[in-house]
Structure 1
Amino acid sequence: MPEPDQRLFFLLQRAAHQLRTVADRRCVAAAGITTAQLGALFAVRERPGITQQQLAATLGLRESAVTALVGRLTAAGLIAKDPHPSEYRAVVLELTPDGAAALRAARPEIERFNAEMRELLGEDGFTGTAAALDRLARWRP
């Protein structure tokens, strides 16, 4: 039997692509949003009044990418932009009722996806993988 592939970066990229493709397809079918949009909606729900700069930091994206993402979410009526109370050029983001509905619509797919990952990895593997990925996401060499 051949040795398992040890190229961790390559494996992470392949796994992320596969998981994102499946999850995007399911989220779009269930709620009309991609996983990137879902992440932004969760962040805005968790921090009402978040700025685009803060959202970029939360999502680990460049501000230019978040500007486009927020534009799409605003155009879809899922978030609202309001002037920042003290920063002239900044705006604050709020989840709209349609945005909250999209999160509710995506919830069954998120739960189904996690259940499938638990089945694939086993409960200990799921928990360990989630913890390891969280550590990797926070790693600052």
Structure 2
Amino acid sequence: MPEPDQRLFFLLQQAAHRLRVAADRRCLAAAGITTAQLGALFAVREGGLTQRALAARLGQRESAVTAMVTRLSDAGLLCRRAHPSEHRAVVLELTRAGEEALARVTPEIEEFNARLRAVLGEDGFRHTAEAVGLLASREW
């Protein structure tokens, strides 16, 4: 039997790609959005985010988030409101269509997580989520 692959970074990258493709397929079918857009919508739903704050929350460049916000706004899922205290900034808000998109995609994400739990077991799922969360929160 061959030794387990010790290239953790490669394995994480491969798993992330396969999981993202599968999750994108589900999200696109359910609500016409990608998982990246879903993450942005979930973050905006928490309230009070500017595009700069959204970029920081998602760990992306502001230019990439600006393009994503434009696409989500053009699709009617987000709107921009004047910031109450920063005259050049805008606050992002979900529209009714954005809330409906989240409602349509939520069962798909729950089913996807259930499939992950079936593969990893409940303890494995929890430990993996904690470990990946730790990796995602560090500055490298």
Instruction: Please state which band the TM-score falls in when normalised by the shorter chain.
Output: over 0.9
Distance 1:139 1:3 in 2: 29
| Aligned equivalent of 2:2 | 2
**TM-score normalised over the length of structure 2:** 0.97
Q: How many correspondences in the alignment?
A: 140
- Corresponding residue number in structure 1 for 2:120: 121
Deviations 1:16-48 (A, max 9, x none): 1000000000000011110001000000001x2
Unmatched 5+ stretches in structure 2:
none
In structure 2, the partner of 1:93 is 92
How far, CA to CA, are the matches of 2:49 and 2:137 in structure 1?
A: 20
Match of 2:105 in 1: 106
Partner of 1:31: 31
User: What is the TM-score with the length of structure 1 in the denominator?
Assistant: 0.96
Unaligned stretches of 5+ residues in structure 1? none
SS at match of 1:50: coil
In the TM superposition, 1:47-62 aligns within 5 A as 48-62=47-61
Q: CA deviation at 1:83?
A: 1.6
* 1:4-83 equivalence runs, <5 A: 4-46=4-46, 48-83=47-82
Q: Secondary structure at the match of 1:33?
A: coil
Report runs of 4+ in structure 1 exceeding 2 Å deviation.
Answer: none
Distance 2:48 2:119 in 1: 38
RMSD of aligned residue pairs (Cα, Å):
0.8
Amino acid of the structure 2 residue aligned with 1:57: A
* Aligned position for 1:134: 133
